[in-house]
Amino acid sequence: MFTFISHNSSRAYWLTRRHDGGGLPIACDVSLADATASAREVRRAIVALRGRNPLHAALGQKLDILVPSSNERHPCADVRMHLCKRSLPEGSFVALSPDVLVASPELCFLQMAESLDVLGEVVELGFELCGTYAFGPDGRTLAGSRPPLTSVARIAGYLDRCAGVRGVAKARSALRWVMDGSASPMETLLAMELGMPKRLGGRGFPPFVVNRRIELPDEHLRRLAQRSRVYVDLLFEHQGLCLEFDSFEHHGGREEYDNTQARANVLRSMGLRVNSITYGQVASLARFDDLVWGLETQLGLRHRPCGDSTRARQRELHALLADVRRRHF
């Protein structure tokens, strides 16, 4: 019998999982029909897993468990049972121990799409799962980088195999605005607010890419950058405009900050326009409006006023993403 960790507990597990030098756990083909049948077995599994990193984040709160029928929903003070009567496709779970499994990043995205009320939170989770940054156990502070847990294409393929499962339609709606490769919450903020349509609280900017790799074509540029390639935080390729998030906190101290400045000089030498973005420019909606106005001008976009309902959605999305004190699980 198995214990299946799901929903917000799986989100806490994945978002705090850091790179340990090995690959990501491999999804296994286990049926939900083999779920643990008693609260006692669930408690035993929890005790066995406590203290394992990064499970401390998931186990520090009420644990979400997936069960296949209401007969298995036994009362348990520190466990929240979720019912799933539909069969789930292969690759839905990853083994943490011989008898404990956690929802895969793709299933986690689907479950949270069904659970979260705000579409922007689902989109943000997609960026986090497809990005390269991890959170600490408090769900607020950053805890280093790691390889992406999944990708937009992998989530889309998984959703295609989940016909009839609750949350699929909402998950697809959110996934439309997710991008691969975000390296920080601030990059996620910029990508979401600039890229999402106005009807969802964004600004509806033309297409761009995040963390695009650029190979440096000559030796002088490689010496200037002290590397053979650079990554651009956010790039409007057709317009030749780069956005670089510029702060000690984002880039991890003086050395990395200096590397960021060298990278900006290299990009300018290649004929690209570089805008340095600071947290102060995105911390308040008024300052962010000023940033947006300047970017619209550089991109040759018209400054279009928005109605009250659109403005309310922009205010809600910005308040969500700019709140650095908010827990992410």
What's the pLDDT at 98?
Answer: 82
Task: Kindly compute the dihedral angle of the four CA atoms of residues 150, 152, 158, 163, in this order, to the nearest 10 degrees.
Answer: 150
What's the pLDDT at 257?
Answer: 56
SS3 of 99-128: the string is CEEEECHHHHHHHHHHHCCCHHHHHHHHHH
What's the pLDDT at 170?
Answer: 97
**Single-letter code of the amino acid located at 304:** R
Longest dimension (CA), the chain: 69
Rg (CA), the chain: 21
Q: Are 249 and 217 in contact (CB under 8 A)?
A: no
What's the pLDDT at 68?
Answer: 87
Of the candidates 92, 211, 99, the residue with the CA atom closest to the CA atom of residue 154: 92
What H or E segment, with its residue span, contains residue 95? strand 93-97
Q: Are 118 and 69 in contact (CB under 8 A)?
A: no
What's the pLDDT at 301?
Answer: 96
What's the pLDDT at 59?
Answer: 59
Sheet holding 209-215, edge to edge: 209-215, 229-236, 241-245, 273-277
**What's the CA gap between 8 and 326, in Å, rounded?**
15
pLDDT tens-place values along the chain, 329 residues long: 788 999 999 999 999 988 666 566 677 877 787 776 566 666 666 666 665 555 655 656 788 989 887 765 556 677 888 989 888 998 899 988 888 899 999 999 999 999 999 999 999 999 999 999 999 988 999 998 999 999 999 999 999 999 999 999 999 999 999 999 999 999 999 999 999 999 999 999 999 999 999 999 999 999 989 999 999 999 999 999 999 987 655 544 445 555 777 888 999 999 999 999 999 999 999 999 999 999 999 999 999 999 999 999 999 999 999 998 898 88
Q: In the structure encoding, which two tokens stand for residue 34, read together? A: 């083999």
Return left, alpha or beta for 179; rule: phi > 0 is left, psi -120 to 50 is alpha, else beta. beta
Q: In the structure encoding, which two tokens stand for residue 278, read together? A: 């600071």
**DSSP code of 70?**
G
What's the pLDDT at 10?
Answer: 95
Q: In the structure encoding, which two tokens stand for residue 242, read together? A: 């780069």
Of the candidates 175, 178, 177, the residue with the CA atom closest to the CA atom of residue 158: 175
Contacts of 50 (CB under 8 A, 6+ apart): 56, 59
Domain residues of the chain, as ranges?
Answer: 3-175, 185-321
What's the pLDDT at 255?
Answer: 52
Q: Which pTM was predicted?
A: 0.91
Return left, alpha or beta for 181; rule: phi > 0 is left, psi -120 to 50 is alpha, else beta. left
Q: Is 207 helix (H, G, I), strand (E, B) or coil?
A: coil
* Residue 64, beta-bridge partner list: 80
Q: Are 231 and 211 in contact (CB under 8 A)?
A: yes
Q: How far is CA 154 from the centre of its chain?
A: 14
**Single-letter code of the amino acid located at 301:** L
